Amino acid sequence: MTWGWVNLGKMRSSKQPLGFGREPSFADVSWERALQGFARRVYPANTMIAGDPHTRSVILIITSGWAAFAKTLPNGSRLIVDFALPHEIALIEFAGESSETVTALSDVAAIELPGPVHSCFSRYPQPICEAILRAEASRYSRVAEHLAGVSRRGAVERTAHLLLELACRAHRSATSYPDRVHCPLTQAELADALGLSAVHVSRVLKSLREAGLASFRNGVVRLHDHARLIETAGFDRSYISN
């Protein structure tokens, strides 16, 4: 999954990443005009968007809500590989029974474009294609960062890192960090994204809260001390803001 704002009215690509523009134009008339005729989908919270063996490859432009891309192992354990947030492009590439599952974490509304990604240049105008390709590259960067976190960062560092990433993506600013953002994840879902047990995540969140760095309660992430939290996580936002 990746993301990129485009100006469809002028039929040329924008150089700003999706969600980090000062005045996001996702709901502008140019977008609505260009996307007329495409299906609008609504997925209630906790329902599966993709995962059936017959799932088609699709490109979802998320207009509201959060979704999770996950891999379930034969023993039933689950790893959340990535998230899709509002105003991002979610790429669902069907790869048979080994495909990821995509689940709505909250009520999700999206515009659906038929996939697969490799066929986009024969289907859509160049600005849409460029946004889709930026989305693909951005998702690769996020997944690589998550892999580094799960395999090489300590529990506190990886938790702080993920909270910072989600806050930045939800805030959609390339230059500032929010003080608080809505985050509709359960503690179990956060644990699945971090490769930790729910009990371990609870302990880590308590330590971050007691250190005055960050807290996560009742669906809200609060970043209390940006500078110290960034230092603790070793966070470099370039992988989500380029």
**Among candidates 75, 74, 107, 115, which has minimal Cα distance to 91?**
115
Q: How far apart are the first and last CA of the chain?
A: 14
User: Could you identify the residue written with the tokens 């008339």?
Assistant: 29
Distance, in Å, from the CA atom of 17 to the CA atom of 20, rounded to the nearest integer, reads 6
The total number of residues shown for the chain amounts to 242
Distance, in Å, from the CA atom of 146 to the CA atom of 81, rounded to the nearest integer, reads 7
176: left (phi over 0), alpha (psi -120 to 50) or beta: beta
* Global confidence as pTM: 0.84
Per residue in 193-225, pLDDT (tens digit) is 999 999 999 999 999 999 999 999 999 999 999
Task: Report strand pairing: 180-182 vs 214-217.
Answer: unpaired
Per residue in 95-115, pLDDT (tens digit) is 666 578 999 999 999 999 998
